[in-house]
């Protein structure tokens, strides 16, 4: 955990549309140069970035770079078309509906001290028939050795997304 005065690295400056746009360009370039990849596995801000990239591909009617996505403590993606107009707008299922139509796994903690609705918010933007969710008893973390039941349920959630991706070949 960090306090308000702590310094840390980030993929982008959340208050800067230009920074967010550049992070999408950088991630897309990396995927093109180092891929192909079967899936995306991302935590927290990385999940926001990965989900935003997927939304950008959908908005451009482009092929998705992954067959499945696994989001840990994921955040709600930004609207790439708003970023193109130098605006920051977060997507929500009430106004934007289900945007992502690929198998997904979503794992978040019920005691996450961040934005508690962001994990469910991201899951609601994904196809309900292809999304699997699990809320564990922890916080902003992936269940590990000290939470064997949570770890087992997390693995089951991920396995379900993988099986759906394999079944859609």
**CA dist., res. 150 & res. 156, Å (int):** 10
State the catalytic residues. Answer: 44, 112, 140
Q: Report pTM.
A: 0.91
Reported as a single tens digit per residue, the pLDDT across 26-52 is 999 999 999 999 999 999 999 999 999
Query: Which tens digits make up the pLDDT trace of 127-168?
Result: 999 999 999 999 989 999 999 999 999 999 999 999 999 986
Q: From residue 140, how far is each of 56, 90, 146, 157 by CA, in Å?
A: 26, 20, 14, 17
The token pair at 133 is: 């969710």
Integer Cα distance of 113 and 122 in angstroms:
17
- What pLDDT, on a 0 to 100 scale, did the predictor assign at position 2? 47
Q: In the structure, what pLDDT confidence band is assigned to residue 116 with cuts at 50, 70 and 90?
A: low
């Amino acid at each position: 955990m960090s306090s308000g005065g702590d310094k840390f690295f980030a993929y982008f400056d959340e208050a800067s549309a230009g920074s967010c746009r550049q992070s999408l360009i950088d991630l897309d370039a990396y995927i093109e140069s180092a891929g192909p990849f079967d899936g995306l596995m991302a935590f927290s801000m990385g999940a926001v970035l990965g989900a935003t990239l997927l939304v950008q591909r959908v908005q451009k009617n482009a092929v998705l770079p992954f067959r499945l996505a696994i989001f840990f403590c994921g955040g709600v993606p930004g609207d790439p078309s708003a970023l193109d107009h130098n605006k920051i707008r977060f997507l929500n299922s009430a106004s934007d509906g289900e945007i992502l139509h690929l198998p997904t796994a979503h794992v978040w903690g019920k005691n996450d001290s961040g934005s508690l609705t962001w994990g469910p918010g991201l899951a609601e933007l994904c196809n309900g028939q292809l999304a699997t969710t699990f809320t564990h008893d922890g916080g902003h973390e992936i269940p590990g050795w000290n939470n064997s039941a949570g770890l087992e349920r997390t693995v089951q959630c991920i396995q379900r997304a993988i099986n759906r991706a394999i079944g859609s070949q």
